[in-house]
Structure 1
Amino acid sequence: MTSLRAELADIRSLEEALHRPEVRRSRDAVEALLAEGFVEFGASGTVYRRAEIIDLLIQEDDNNDGDLRTANYSLTSISRDAVLLTYESQRTQDDGSKRYVLRSSIWKHNGEKWQMLFHQGTIKRS
């Protein structure tokens, strides 16, 4: 494994790929990024499994998300082949309102590449 700093750049790049509409709408791209057994606890409180989230992502349209900004990325090693990525997101809707979410993802290295195994979004309260 490389240094945690180098891994942060790699994992952040993979995480941010999942923010891009062209990646989200590509079944092949999302399947490559999400590990078998993937689970997401959404900020809405909904639990998503891998197949379900892939189906939802590839059906998204460009206009439902608003402007997304991310900040305060941090990476923690949790085993030789797994890391925890945490960060904050801010999404500005078309009406100007903002939604702040604390995010965490577990990325696991399968011997060939990093894949997201778990993701959680939690609404950030003031």
Structure 2
Amino acid sequence: MDDLQARLKDLEERLFDPAVRGSRQMLADLLSADFREIGSSGRLFDLEDVLTRLPVDPEDIALRALEDFDARLLSDGIALVTYRATRASPDKPAVRTLRSSIWRLEADGHWRMLFHQGTLMR
């Protein structure tokens, strides 16, 4: 389980990387074809929404960090990841969120994110 935890943490952190967030192909490599996200705004996004919006999102210059990372197998090839994230921008207050993701081991042997949700911490 330690190997899986380290692998999934690495994949989550890749999604924080501005180079990955700025690349439609790199994002597509990490997200499942039937990906869904509930953003901290409460809005529902699908894969195409994310692939279209993230590469041009001006907030992506922000630094992101995660803490309290945990990964748990829900069944064979399905894992739940939870953590706290902080997004810091030079000209804005830091934003803290609780995050959860469901990762699936797909037929090609790669883990891809199937679902993600962010909840603002107050």
TM-score (normalizing by structure 2): 0.91
Please state whether the residue corresponding to 1:45 is helix, strand or coil: coil
Please state whether the residue corresponding to 2:35 is helix, strand or coil: strand
8 Å contact 1:35–1:117 — kept in the other structure? yes
8 Å contact 1:65–1:91 — kept in the other structure? no
1:9 aligned partner, one-letter code? A
Unpaired segments ≥5 residues, structure 2: none
1:94 equivalent in alignment to 2:94:
no
1:123 aligned partner, one-letter code? L
Alignment partner, residue 46 of structure 2? 49
8 Å contact 2:18–2:61 — kept in the other structure? no
More helix by share: 2
**Superposed displacement of residue 59, structure 1:** 1.7
Q: 2:31 aligns with which of 27, 30, 34?
A: 34
1:116 equivalent in alignment to 2:113:
yes
Unpaired segments ≥5 residues, structure 1: none
Alignment partner, residue 81 of structure 2? 85
Q: Return the alpha-carbon distance in structure 2 between the equivalents of residues 65 and 44 of structure 1.
A: 19
Number of matched pairs = 121
8 Å contact 2:21–2:60 — kept in the other structure? no
TM-score (normalizing by structure 1): 0.89
Alignment partner, residue 22 of structure 2? 25
- RMSD of aligned Cα (Å): 1.4
